[in-house]
Structures are given as C-alpha cells and as structure tokens.
C-alpha cells in the first residue's frame, strides 16, 4: 500500500506483552506513536512469565540465554545496557550432556578446552571444529546482519546481488544432518552439534544447514544467565518501554478485532471497546487470525494452518526440592535414550514419546535467590509432538516418574522423596494460557519451506492496518528472534503509516 500519514497522536494497540509485543511497542513509542499493550495475564512476559511458590522462583518458559549481542543491541537502542537491569554471568561449563550412566560431557566455555574435548573424542576433530565454526560465524554474521531483519513480504528484498552471493554460501539447500556429518563422525559430537536445532522445531534432516549459526551462538558466544532468572529480561524491557511512554494494561484479554471497510478500528476486551489506528498482534497468530477476526477478514484457511509444521510442545515440571542435588550443572541435557526415535515420535509419527529425551535446568546451582537456603529449584522439560490428545494427570505423572528415575540414577541420590513442590504444565496449559495452536511451545518450525517469505506474513493482506509479530512469523522462534520480530514490525508500520510532521 502507499504510505499514509497519520495523526501525531496515532494510537497503536499491541496485543500481548511477550518479548515480541514489548519489543514492537517500545520501538513504536520511540518513533512517536501512542502505544498501549493489552495483556491477557496479570503481568508481562507471555511464555516468559514467572511465578513464586513456597520460597521458589520459577521461570515458566525460556531458560537459555544465547546471542548476548542481540540483547546488547536491543537495550542500546534506548540508551541502556543489559547491566542496567540484570547481572549477566557466563556459565562454565555451558551445560552437561548425559549419554548414559556415568557417561556425560561437560561442555566447556573456553575454546581451548572445547577443542581439547573434541580432539579426545575424535582425533582431528579440533581442527574440523575450527572450520565448522568459521563457516558458522559467517552464517551468523550474514544471517543476523542481513537476512533476519527482512520483513519477508517480497522477493525483491533479496534482489541485491551481494545477498544472492551470501545466500549461496549459507547452505540453505543442505540439511544440518548432512552438514554436521561432513565434519564429525563420533556419535557424541554429532548429537552435541545437532541439539541446538531442537530450539528451531524440526529434525536435523529437515533443518537447513544455515542454522549451524546456532552452534556458533552456543559454542563461541556462550551460554549466559541473568541473575534472578530470565524474567529479569522482561522486567528490564518493561521499564524501557515505560520510559518511552508505553502503557501496559493487564487482565485485558482481547476477544475480538473489529474491522470496518478493510481497517481495524479497535479491539474488544471484557472492559469494552478500545479504539486503535494500528493494531499489532503479538499473541498467537493462528488465534488472532482464525478467532479474533471475522471469517471474511482472514487471509489463511484452516487447511493452511493444519498443514504447517509446528515446533514441539513440551511437558514441563516446576519442582522444588528440600535438599541440594549432586552431579548436576545449571543446564543438563539427558540424551541417554534414542535421539532419533524421540525425534520421529515428535515429527514423523506424532505420539507421546516411548523413552523421551529430557532437559533439566537447575538454576539454583548458579543463583541462590531462586530457592530457599539448602533447597534446589528444578525445571524439567520433555519435548513432545504438538496437537496430542491424552494430556491428563495420569500421563503427566507417568512421565514425571520416568524422568525422575533417570535423574536419580545420574545423581546417585534419591530425589522424589525430597520434592516439596511440584507443578506440571503441558499442551492443555499452553492452549488455555496462550491460545497456542495445537498446544505448541516454540512456534513454527524453521524448515526450508517455512523460512523468510514462506512464513505467515507479518502484515494482513485483508486488514490494512493489522500487523503480526512473534514466533509464528518472521524471523522465527526463540527469544532473540522475537525481540527482532518486534523491531521489524515497527519499521514496517512506520513505512506505511508515518506520523505527520
């Protein structure tokens, strides 16, 4: 559409106070728009909300802090640094990978120790790691510098000849599965290098080798932790947003987007009608388009959504223990079962996993403030296929017992008798709390057919002033991409609805 000047008091409503919603709101407020964020829950964060119980502080969602440069760039836009809001520490070891009983690797933070670990497992692997990371660094630089901020609305965005050359070097047509095996043969190294794609929502076979840039983020840029927990990032973002003039209204679930003559005029909540010149939806894209809009204003069909490849859902447990754990790190990946079989049960023949892989975060190993003295804070996650039925208490208890038994074998301690608090969270909760399509936890999988322009568009083709941001549109799932998604949308809004001078 052609640019249309708007009033200097142009009102933007942002639906949802997750990372993407706050990012979009702040960027637009800095540009002079009046911005109000309407949030369903009683506080900000979306999937990165926090809750407290019996002296424990539990981050509800994201627990990995990767790509610190993205956070630094984000806060720098508003004259801040992350240190203004939270104390960031680099974890060393970065994390532990458990392959079996008394069989694990602690992944070191320093490159010298990392190269030594690779070489001990596979002679010659240290030099191959250097080359792998050299290529991954290039992909990270180009991907994050040139591609990730493209709005994905036209192929002309990629018409620059230099981008074509870059694209040829980004391994878009080669899979991670193939790429990793060109460098490494040892099964432990292969699993270590393939595990970051779990965050992208697809198998290594279906994930472009472009995403080896995630290995660069992991192994070179490091794994970090904000003291107090991941929600400290949200708190910092809200403070910055409010400095820019953003207003937050909580307990305001949007029930309808009203559209007249092809334009959104505002939204309806339990409190009534809220007028808007522009609406930015940071809530679940499918829910916004298929539920909040009337049928005639929807761009995508139910069939379209049903044929999308969704990232996994998760079965989560927030656990408080009345004693400390031995033989664990802050992050622990339990790959002591068949990696390939679990992936198949998520993506190819969706079902509840037979013998699941799981992840255990123990933030109290780093941060004593998240648990009472002498206690342990434990976050357990099992990746599961989205859209599964049978999410009941009996199923959750069965998996809890299964992974607790494995945790006890690894630590050499009894654990279940030390549980003083436990809350489970799975598909039904993702749907109830976030309207998550098929109960997904991470958004849309980053397969080749769902990359860049092939993702759901960030601008509604049928409602001229409705935009989308977050993990179901560009650039994709994850906390750093969500921050960037909000910024990308703000740029598009300003292009098409510039404020009157």
Say whether both 320 and 367 belong to one domain. yes
405 CB-near residues (< 8 Å, 6+ apart): none
Tell me the C-alpha to C-alpha distance, in Å, between residue 234 and each of 109, 119, 217: 26, 40, 21
Same domain, 131 and 200: yes
Nearest to 449 by CA among 98, 126, 208: 208
Strand partners of residue 58:
51
Give the burial class of 76: count Cβ atoms within 10 A of its Cβ; 0-12 exposed, 13-18 middle, 19 or more buried: exposed
* 149 and 185 share one domain: yes
On whether residue 4 sits in a domain, the answer given is no
Please say if the pLDDT value at position 213 is more than 80.
Answer: yes
Residue 3 has pLDDT above 60, yes or no: no
Domain count, the chain: 3
7 pLDDT higher than 70: no
Is residue 184 a part of any domain in this protein? yes
Q: Are residues 174 and 161 in the same domain?
A: yes
**Could you write out the three-class secondary structure of 345-414?**
HHHCCCCCCCCCCEEEECHHHCCHHHCCCCCEEEEEEEEECCCCCCCCHHHHHHHHHHHHHHHHHHHCCC
Answer yes or no: do 330 and 382 share one domain.
yes
* Tokens at 402, concatenated: 């299964």
Q: Are residues 264 and 158 in the same domain?
A: no
The CATH code of the domain that includes 266 is: 3.50.50.60
Q: Do 320 and 389 sit in the same domain of this protein?
A: yes
Q: pLDDT-based confidence at 2, cuts 50/70/90?
A: very low
Do 348 and 405 lie in one domain? The reply is yes
- How would DSSP label each residue in 148-164? TT---S-GGGG-SHHHH
> Is there a domain that residue 90 lies in?
no
Residues 124/129/131/133 CA torsion (nearest 10 deg): 180
Average pLDDT over residues 455-466: 98
What pLDDT is stored for residue 172 in this prediction?
A: 84
- Residue 91, domain member (yes or no): no
Residue 146 sits in which domain range? 118-221
Res. 447: pLDDT tops 90: no
Do 330 and 427 lie in one domain? The reply is yes
Note the residue count of the chain: 501
| Residues contacting 473, CB < 8 A, separation 6+ | 152, 285, 444, 455, 456, 457, 458, 485
Per-residue pLDDT reduced to its tens digit, 73-100: 999 999 999 999 999 999 999 999 999 9
* 301 half-sphere exposure, CB direction, 13 A CA radius: 3
pLDDT value at 68 more than 70? yes
* Domain-located, residue 76: no
Among residues of the chain, what percentage have pLDDT more than 90? 88
* 98: in domain: no
> Is 485 within a domain?
yes
* Domain endpoint, select from 402, 434, 466: 434
**The two three-digit tokens of residue 281, written as one number:** 């939806």
**CATH number (domain holding residue 323):** 3.30.519
- Residues 282, 235, single domain; the answer is yes
- To the nearest whole percent, how much of the chain has pLDDT over 70? 96
Residue 290: cis peptide before it, omega within 30 degrees of 0: no
Judgement on whether residues 323 and 396 belong to the same structural domain of the protein: yes
pLDDT in tens, 416-434: 999 999 999 999 999 999 9
- Identify the pLDDT of residue 203: 84
Average pLDDT over residues 45-68: 98
Which of residues 434, 452, 481 is at a domain's end? Answer: 434
Question: Which range is most confident: 159-168, 176-185, 445-454?
Answer: 176-185
Q: Supply the pLDDT for residue 312.
A: 92
pTM, to two decimals:
0.96
Q: In this structure, are 453 and 393 located in the same domain? A: no
Task: State which of 221, 238, 269 marks the end of a domain.
Answer: 221
Q: Is residue 266 part of a domain?
A: yes
Residues contacting 261, CB < 8 A, separation 6+? none
């Amino acid at each position: 559409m052609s640019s249309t000047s708007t009033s200097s008091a142009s009102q933007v409503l942002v639906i949802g106070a997750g990372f993407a919603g706050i990012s979009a709101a702040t960027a637009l407020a800095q540009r002079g728009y009046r911005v109000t964020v309407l949030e369903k829950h009683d506080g900000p964060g979306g999937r990165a909300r926090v809750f407290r119980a019996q002296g424990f502080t539990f981050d509800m969602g994201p627990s990995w802090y990767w790509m610190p440069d993205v956070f630094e760039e984000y806060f720098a836009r508003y004259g801040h640094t992350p240190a203004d809001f939270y104390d960031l520490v680099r974890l060393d070891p970065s994390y532990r990978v458990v392959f079996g009983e008394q069989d694990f690797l602690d992944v070191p933070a320093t490159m010298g120790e990392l190269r030594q670990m690779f070489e001990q497992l596979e002679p010659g692997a240290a030099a191959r790691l250097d080359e792998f990371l050299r290529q991954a660094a290039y992909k990270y630089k180009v991907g994050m510098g040139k591609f990730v901020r493209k709005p994905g609305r036209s192929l002309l965005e990629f018409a620059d000849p230099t981008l074509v050359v870059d694209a040829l070097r980004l391994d878009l047509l080669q899979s991670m599965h193939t790429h990793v095996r060109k460098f490494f043969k040892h099964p432990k190294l292969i699993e270590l290098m393939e595990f970051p794609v779990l965050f992208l929502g697809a198998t290594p076979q279906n994930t472009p080798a472009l995403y080896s840039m995630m290995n660069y983020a992991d192994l070179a840029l490091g794994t970090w932790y904000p003291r107090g927990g991941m929600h400290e990032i949200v708190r910092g973002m809200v403070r910055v947003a409010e400095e820019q003039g953003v207003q937050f209204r909580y307990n305001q679930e949007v029930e309808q987007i009203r559209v007249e003559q092809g334009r959104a005029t505002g939204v309806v909540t339990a409190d009534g009608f809220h007028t808007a010149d522009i609406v930015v939806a940071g809530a679940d894209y499918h829910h916004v388009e298929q539920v909040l809009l009337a049928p005639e204003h929807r761009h995508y069909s139910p069939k379209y959504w049903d044929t999308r490849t969704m990232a996994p859902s998760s079965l989560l447990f927030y656990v408080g223990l009345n004693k400390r754990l031995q033989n664990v790190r802050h992050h622990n990946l339990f790959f002591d079962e068949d990696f390939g079989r679990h992936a198949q049960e998520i993506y190819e023949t969706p079902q509840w996993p037979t013998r699941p892989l799981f992840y255990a975060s123990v933030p109290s190993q780093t941060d004593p403030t998240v648990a009472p003295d002498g206690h342990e804070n434990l976050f357990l996650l099992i990746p599961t296929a989205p859209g599964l039925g049978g999410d009941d208490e009996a199923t959750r208890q069965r998996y809890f017992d299964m992974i607790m038994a494995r945790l006890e074998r690894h630590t050499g301690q009894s654990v279940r008798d030390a549980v003083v608090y436990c809350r489970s969270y799975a598909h039904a909760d993702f749907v109830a709390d976030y309207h998550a399509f098929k109960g997904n936890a991470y958004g849309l999988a980053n397969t080749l057919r769902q990359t860049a322009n092939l993702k759901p568009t960030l601008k509604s083709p049928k409602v001229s002033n409705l935009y989308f941001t977050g993990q179901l549109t560009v650039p994709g799932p994850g906390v750093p991409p969500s921050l960037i998604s909000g910024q990308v949308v703000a740029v598009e809004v300003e292009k098409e609805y510039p404020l009157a001078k």
